[in-house]
Amino acid sequence: MSPFVPRVLLACFVASCVLGCGNRQTATKRASGPIGTPVPLSSQPLKPLTTEQIAAKVLPSVVTLHATDEDTLGSGVLVDPKGKVLTCNHVVSGTTYILAQMNDGGYFSLTGPVAKDEHVDLAVVTLKGKNLPCLRLGDSTGVEPGQKVVAVGSPQGLQDTVTEGIVSAVREVGDFPESLRDALTRKGYKNTDLLIQFTAPISPGNSGGPLVNTQGDVIGIVAMSLRSGDNIYFAIPINEARGVLAMKPAANERIVTDSSAGRPALTYTPRVGQLVPIQLI
């Protein structure tokens, strides 16, 4: 027998052992669909970027969403070079006019289609642009306590704010204390839904912005904080967004141009109810 054959068999055995490792609790269920394929795992771990490098990579793809009166509604992240923006549904729900401001100060009007999933509090709007800077969607499967994360957004209207922290936990809604669990289930969450708890400081205006890993890949969408605690913030795992990105808009939900105001008119069904212990930011 050729000495080459045992070497091949040994290589296959080692590869099978490596690929079989890593059976850990996941930060979300894997979702299928043509949009937002998870970043493939590399055989060699990539060198982490510094916070400065992460900021330089992420900031051009984060937008600030403004209402007619210039109040900041929240943040969003470009995930497609054609202008698809992922944000939180509660950021844009019930708002008539929205403009998106890029980090270079330029403004874009919004256009359809619009998709949303109230159950996971995610929505998609689209900018009138092309060749736009966008971020890669990471894979929130395998997000673990202790890993470094960076949040980018516009807290209190302060555009391009970058904060860093760690993942505190990945929690099922059913494992939350009763008052928080009840608040989340009233909003539409199921007990089996997962949220990423993290410590990077955020405030109202951050909601809808990205939570990224040390490669600058989006692993979550910033969504809420705990009112009665410090450094207790939550993000929606990015794998939950893949279905929203692939959705077709409902017939009665679209963005049309209001020529008299020179702004796009965004029609949404208003969000019903408010969370009492949880602050949507």
Q: Which residues pair with 151 in a beta bridge?
A: 163, 211
Enumerate domains of the chain plus CATH numbers. 51-280 (2.40.10.120)
Catalytic machinery residues: 90, 121, 207
Q: How confident is the model at residue 262 (pLDDT cuts 50, 70, 90)?
A: very low
In percent, the amount of the chain with pLDDT more than 90 equals 45
Distances from the Cα of 155 to the Cα of 55, 94, 106, 205, angstroms: 16, 20, 19, 4
Higher confidence at residue 172 or residue 15?
172
How many residues make up the chain in this entry?
281
pTM of the model: 0.75
Per-residue pLDDT tens digits for 196-242: 999 999 999 999 999 999 999 999 999 998 877 788 999 999 999 98
The band of 76, judged by pLDDT with boundaries at 50, 70 and 90, is very high
Tens of pLDDT, residue by residue over 103-129, are 998 888 876 557 888 888 999 988 877
